[in-house]
Structure 1
Amino acid sequence: MNTINSYGPPGNLDDLDDTGLKAWSMFIGDSVDQAIKGPDPSQVLNDSPRSQFYDLTKTDTAADAQQATVTWTAFPRRIKVHSLSDIQRWQRADASRDVQDEYCEWSVTRDPASGKITKVMFTCEGPEYWNLLAQSDPAKVLQLYQTHISPDVKHGDLFGATGTYQPRNQWNDSTSHGAMHLIQANNTLGAEIELAAAATIVRNIDGTELTTDQDLIQCSRYGEPERNSDPHIGGAVNALARQKADIALADPVGLYFDDLKTDGWATPDGSDPKSYWTRRRGDESHPVRFVYEVPQDKGFTVGDITINGTPIQYGAQIADYITIRLSAVACRFGQSTTPPKTACLQVPTAPAGAAEAARHISSLPAHGYHAAPHPTSRTRRR
């Protein structure tokens, strides 16, 4: 098989013009190349290069290619494991977008009189795409906000006095006034790319090959061990790497909605509860935006639907049943000659700059990088 000519936009969206599409492909390519290179060995040991990770635009995908899909639950696991009850965890997850860290964020609309939920917006679109679109076509950004969030959105609400797009604006900074794209600090495409690349490193520690999700993420420090997503993504990618395969993220690179399971759900009129789950952005195979909403002519609202007998009072109850996914491509099985690393990620103690690296890494629950919201810059995840 040949290389691809360029990376497509997330969800195969048609927002960008030709110039924007080229810029997006360049951003993804640069991010992949940086992830292959890995961190500077003078600052971080045993984490580079990632030679089993490859760029679809520069390296052929062989005929034995297989696509691997990794899925996980959208509800933030860190909230779940540190909560005492379902009510508490649902309330906490609905309280702030900053805790919605599984590459899925949502915002809840309620009837002002009854307080019942009428609509929940869900998004898995990364902020990098929106920053690039804002540079390429500010009018398009405004039009999309007015279409998907509210017709009341104004240019100044999004771009402020400086004319620079503000990802966290009044229409995309809460769980009650809209969710256009991801804003939680670790929910970026850059984080996805870096995590996948770092997870291709096979670890053989003291003669034992690491194979479990938690052993791998604790050793390679490519993400947050308590999340649903990071350990599972890393474990699935590493399983392919252990088969001596080359691995890439499938085009178009992005996080996508996988499914909504509605087993145990019931509506007042007996209608299919999944019929109110509507895709709003992204193509059928790569959906990036959904809304859960009951049409007004049905005579009931989302808040009248029950899940295992409990009325839906929080968007988080729906998130319990949503899965998010990413897709990787693996090929050249059995052909990689890259030797496993025989030590976990370490910070060197002798070279200059090591102290700063140690201070930085010690502040992280896990090792990882993410692309900054602006698609032309990149920083360590903090």
Structure 2
Amino acid sequence: MATLDLYSPPGNLQDLDEDGRKKWHAKISQFVDDAIEGPGPADGVLHDGPRPQFYNATKTATSDDAQDVPVRWTAFPRAVADASVSDTQAWELADSTRDVQDEYCEWSVSRNTEGKITRVTFTCEGPEYWVSIAENNRAKLLDLYRTHISPDVTDRDLFPDGETYEPRNVWNNSTSRGAMHLIQKSNTIEAEIQLAAAATIRRVIDGREYTAEDELIKCGKYGDASRNSDPLIGAGVNSLARQGADITLTDPVGLYLGDLATDGWETPDGSDPKSYWKYVRGDAEHPVRAVYEVPLDKGYTVGDITIGGRRIEYGGQIAEFITIQLTATACRFGESTAKPLTACRADAPAPAPEHAVSATAEPRHVRSARSLRTSGSA
């Protein structure tokens, strides 16, 4: 049995110095501890928290029977697909704003003067990590932007007020100028951790244990049922909880790019379309950034490649073939003594105002009179 020393940066990246790595560990450890505690009546919530089957791997040992279990989903936003009447409408909407790219994957599209796509960049890096880089090494942050986005990025672009890093800065707020890291409001590492922890709660209601994706997420209220990611994460984690296991997110904690499937894709020269998919940040097992781009010497662009006979005109067409994943670690199978909850998460009753008087309470003048009589007879 072993306890993790420190939580690692996403993708095992080396952007932080020793002090920065310690602070990153502290941030993730606190996220995990908060997720274990969960919300309670003081937070206006009932039937959620604590989550005893979720654990902090730097404080509780992972036993030798541990299993790493990946959970994967499609990068294209399900809510956009469900709300669209055609593929073209869905692709246009998904490419129009990163605020709808809510599957822990966001992208930006570059085009040439003819309007053809030359490059699509995908990222799954949480904003919290980039705030940590900014706090640890401001010059490093600027260098990363200049390397991956544009040499024209300035310090003022990233720190508009001169002091505080702006995640939704001018180089990271659109689908055309660049995508350095995630900015959609639900796409955070903290949200990932909270969701996984909440999903460890088993629900047995009216004698029946909930097991289906939809009923689990609606009962636990730990995410958005309209997404690809949240229901799958919840169901995957809960299936481990039902085996009586203790569960955590595998280090390094983060969201990662899975694979790009290119079945049905064709290039003008017959070359392998997958050869133009490159991971550019993160280690081999934990990629956090990828680029799809055809080298200039090929004489054609991404926009000349076809998928199912149709040319690539939108980044969303590629996103439909990308998987995103997280990995949970489960151990001590069959040993958990945590009891299932017998109700769904609900709002707690609002506390009564301090001046409110109970319907059965005596009026003040009656209590005062009794007090005087008691003191007078002493």
> Do the two structures share a fold, i.e. TM-score over 0.5?
yes
Query: Could you tell me how far apart the structure 1 residues matched to 2:124 and 2:83 are?
Result: 24
Q: Which residue of 1 aligns with 2:31?
A: 31
The aligned counterpart of 1:364 is none
The residue type paired with residue 75 of structure 2 is A
Work out whether 1:104 is the aligned partner of 2:102.
no
Residue number in structure 2 paired with 1:175? 175
- Give me the whole-angstrom Cα distance separating, in 1, the residues matched to 2:236 and 2:81: 23
Q: How does 1:176-325 map to 2 (within 5 A)?
A: 176-325=176-325
Q: CA deviation at 1:161?
A: 3.1
Give the C-alpha shift of residue 141 in structure 1: 0.6
2:16 is paired with a residue whose SS is: coil
Q: CA deviation at 1:71?
A: 0.1
Aligned equivalent of 2:143: 143
Identity of aligned residues (%): 63
TM-score normalised by structure 2 residue count: 0.92
Letter in 1 for 2:66: A
CA–CA separation in structure 1 for the residues paired with 2:85 and 2:269: 34
Aligned amino acid, residue 241 of structure 1: A
Aligned residue in 1 for 2:9: 9
Indicate the SS of the match to 1:90: helix
- Write the letter of the residue equivalent to 2:192: E
SS in 1 for 2:169: coil
In the alignment, what sits opposite 1:363?
none
Give 1:41 shift: 2.5
3-state SS of paired residue (2:327): strand
Checking the alignment, whether the CA contact within 8 Å between 1:41 and 1:48 is kept in structure 2 is: no
Partners of 1:14 and 1:62 lie apart in 2 by 28
Report SS of the residue matched to 1:326: strand
- Superposition deviation, residue 160 in structure 1: 1.2
* Contact map agreement 1:109 1:177 (CA 8 A) in 2: yes
For residue 259 of structure 2, give the secondary structure of its aligned residue in structure 1: strand
The number of residues matched between the two structures is 352
| CA RMSD in angstroms, aligned pairs only | 0.8
1:257-301 C-alpha deviation (Å, 9 max, x unpaired): 010000000000000100000111000000000000000001000
For 2:350 and 2:16, the matched residues in 1 are separated by 48
Instruction: Tell me how far apart the structure 1 counterparts of residues 202 and 311 of structure 2 sit (CA, whole Å).
Output: 46
Contact 1:103/1:324 (CA < 8 Å) preserved in 2? Answer: yes
Q: Which stretch has the larger CA shift, 172-181 or 340-349?
A: 340-349
- Counterpart in the other structure of 2:57: 56
The one-letter code sitting in structure 2 at the alignment partner of 1:50 is R
Give the deviation of 1:349 after TM superposition. Answer: 1.9
* Residue 209 (structure 1) shift: 0.3
The 3-state SS of whatever aligns with 2:151 is: coil
**1:327 and 1:175 mapped to 2: Cα distance?**
28
Report the counterpart of residue 73 of structure 1 in structure 2: 74
Aligned letter for 2:254?
A: G
Structure 1 CA distance for aligned equivalents of residues 278 and 352 of structure 2: 54
In the superposition, relative to structure 1, how do residues 352 and 327 fare at CA in structure 2: closer, same or farther (>3 Å)?
farther
1:84 aligns with 2:117: no
Report the AA paired with residue 179 of structure 2: A
After superposition, what is the alpha-carbon deviation per residue over 1:110-145, rounded to whole angstroms, capped at 9, x for unaligned? Answer: 002x10000001000000000010011010010000
**Cα deviation digits, residues 215-272 of structure 1 (max 9, x gap):** 0001000000010000000000000000110000000000000100000000000001
Partner of residue 368, structure 2:
none
**1:352 Cα deviation from its structure 2 partner:** 4.6
Q: Which residue of 2 aligns with 1:45?
A: 46
Q: Distance in 1 between matches of 2:312 and 2:50?
A: 47
What residue number does 2:121 align with?
A: 121
The aligned amino acid for 1:47 is D
Structure-2 separation of matches of 1:177 and 1:350 = 46
Contact 1:305 1:312 in 2 (8 A): yes
Q: Distance in 2 between matches of 1:119 and 1:52?
A: 43
Q: Which residue of 1 aligns with 2:376?
A: none
Unaligned runs of 5+ in 2: 354-378
Post-superposition offset of 1:162: 2.9
What is the rounded CA distance, in whole Å, between the counterparts of 2:285 and 2:350 in structure 1? 50
SS of aligned partner of 2:283: coil
Equivalent position SS for 2:71: strand
Aligned to 1:164: 164
SS at match of 1:56: coil
Q: Secondary structure at the match of 1:287?
A: strand
1:48-94 CA distance string (max 9 Å, x none): 10000000000011111111000000000000001000000000000
Structure 2 partner of 1:94: 95
Partners of 2:6 and 2:352 lie apart in 1 by 39
Partners of 2:210 and 2:279 lie apart in 1 by: 39
Letter of the structure 2 residue corresponding to residue 77 of structure 1: R
Paired AA for residue 203 in structure 1: R
Alignment of 1:319-334 (within 5 A): 319-334=319-334
CA separation of 1:291 and 1:240: change in aligned 2, threshold 3 A: same
